[in-house]
Amino acid sequence: MTIKKLLIANRGEIASRIILSAHDMGISCVAIYTEADASSPYVRQSDQAYKLSDSYLNAKEIIEIAKNSGADAVHPGYGFLSENASFANQVKKAGIKWVGPSANAIKKMGDKLTAKELAEKANVPTLPMTSDPKKADTIGYPILVKAAAGGGGKGMRIVKKAKDLKEAIKSAEREAEGGFGDKRVFLERYIARSRHIEIQILGDSHGNIVHLGERECSIQRRHQKVVEESPSPMVDEEMRFTMGEAAIKLASKLKYESAGTVEFLVDEKTKEFWFLEVNTRLQVEHPVTEEVTGIDLVKEQLRIADGEELEYDQSDIDFFGSSIEVRLYAEDPGNDFLPVTGKLIAFEPANDPLVRWDIGIESGSVITSNFDPMLAKVISFGETRTEAANKLALALENSHFGGMKTNRDYLVSILRSEEYLAGNTTTDFIDRVELNSEINLTNEEIENYATVGAMWIQGKNRNEANVLSSVSSGWSNGRLPHQEIKFDYNDKELLIRYKPQRDGSFITNNNKNLNIFDWNESFIDIEISNIRYRSKVTLENEKLLVHTHKGDILLNILPKFKLAEEVEIEGGLTAPMPGKVVEIKVKKGSTIKKGDTLVILEAMKMEHKVSAPANGKITEILVEKGEQVENGTTLVVVD
């Protein structure tokens, strides 16, 4: 029976992505959502939508919704229940098609220890590892502690010294149990100068298996991927063939069906590679493979689930050009990539240059700590790698979005860096390469764009004037001082002063001439001392988002008169982001040393340590374990 109605057991951008391909095949889509996602775009894009009582992990309720909606099949996307063998079995037992590999394959590959054993039987090289912490010395430091179940960087810790192993295991176990319901971890040799290369595979129920080339995903922070690309700048034809054959050999052992990824770690010096794991699902970075092969992986998944045979073999697959994907996150690169929450007051992807945006948010979306901080994926294609990188950087710069911290400017800095363009993209890239965490503007450029914002506001005020609206802004028959507005930009006060001239132009207090050519509610075209600025502008409350030639800057409009400042607790250490207190490592009266972990917070499914900035003594603890805290909440007081 052909799939006519598909339930998507996921949310956000991947739900939107699946809907796009399913609709193109004439398949009706059913969405599920929680209260937090009630206004998300994917809910409106679906043909039917059902509200969940609690979470996206409620397998029983999701299957009940699939039955009630008349869905023929369930697509799990990635994350949540996508690699849950029990869920796959339950879907099939309910008489509904499962879009993914068999429950047996998921079970075997979902356990990294079992996966390694299978890889060894298939003669695929693996890294030295052990499940016994007492045997850590046999591997040698540095060591990587890894969760036996799940992925996405959760439950992973690098340990450089034996004295840190116990705490790293404890933390990894806690994160793994919270993320996957399985606290088991193991130890593996850590290769510092390496590359993360993965091979995309496709298999059908008729025994046909092919690979669609490699993706490089080496640029990571906290073991989570930031930039992905295909092909890899270091993989040649011979290496692609060897790794592809190893991936197919392992997939054949599994009798693998659907899309999947075999991941390898490659030593930068020797080019030796080792098996890491198999992801039995669609990967976040799948679009770059689609761009260079022309194969829609979601459509292939649906056809395979329908029992169709692959229409091509390995010799039919061609690779053309280069594709790069970046993950746009709600996070602060300047603050150790900590996730942030807030409202996107604008989100307008650039139409030029033309790139692919896989998004699950829109202007007005509120980003909470309930889910992963990824906002969107942006994917470029070019005939060459340099063309793809430059196109992607320009598309990010030309887009108008913000209202809260994102890693957009950091991504642009990566793509424009000499190291990236040279292909030196090893896993230590972020630690090794000096990058800009924020937009790179000169002081004069910042002042000029603040002037752009000030003149847009004066235009808005004139547009909304009820009295003497035909009279120029600030007009007087006497000599009055300049009009002025104050902004806060990155904790620095900017004072912009201007006054109108008889010809309709303006002049600033430092003699810059301003000529406004066009103005509307979201745009201004202005000349400042013979330089033309054409900027999109968004205002919400006291936040003014001004688009520059390198991205957006957020200006906070300051009141004309200072308000009384809040009194800060002396010696108080505050939460760097909203989160849940999962562990308090100190007691009142504890003596601490600089760098000691004081409190551990969990936010967006990851753990974050709050450390002592100096030696001292704990005089107060103001939070409790399990408490949900906001950004800036005082946690402990240190003398």
CA distance 105 to 112: 12
Q: Which of 425, 431, 430 is nearest to 233 (CA)?
A: 425
Question: Is 222 one of the catalytic residues?
Answer: no
CA distance 95 to 527: 66
Burial letters 363-387, b for 16+ CB under 10 A, else e = eebebebebbbbbbbbbbbbeebeb
Q: Determine phi and psi for 576, rounding to 5 degrees.
A: -80, -10
The catalytic residue among 281, 327, 356, 416 is 281
How would you class 163 by CB atoms within 10 Å of its CB: exposed for 0-12, middle for 13-18, buried for 19 or more? Answer: exposed
Q: Is 375 helix (H, G, I), strand (E, B) or coil?
A: strand
CA distance 391 to 156: 33
Number of Cβ within a 10 Å radius of residue 519 = 18
The number of residues in the chain equals: 639
Question: 């971890």: which residue's tokens?
Answer: 185
Q: Do the beta carbons of residue 498 and residue 455 sit within 8 Å?
A: yes
Q: Are strands 591-592 and 616-621 parallel, antiparallel or unpaired?
A: antiparallel
First to last CA, the chain: 70
Convert 44-66 into a string of H (helix), E (strand) and C (coil). Answer: HHCCEEEECCCCCCCHHHHHHHH
DSSP letter assigned to residue 625 = T
User: Cis omega (within 30 of 0) on the bond before 76?
Assistant: no
CA distance 85 to 122: 22
H/E stretch holding 445 reads: helix 443-463
H/E stretch holding 610 reads: strand 606-611
- Long-range CB contacts for residues 586-589, cutoff 8 Å, separation at least 24: 586/618, 586/621, 586/636, 587/618, 587/621, 588/618, 588/619, 588/620, 588/621, 589/617, 589/618, 589/619
Q: Is 202 helix (H, G, I), strand (E, B) or coil?
A: strand
Q: Do the beta carbons of residue 91 and residue 223 sit within 8 Å?
A: no
Distance from CA of residue 479 to its chain's centroid?
Answer: 54
Report the catalytic residues: 281
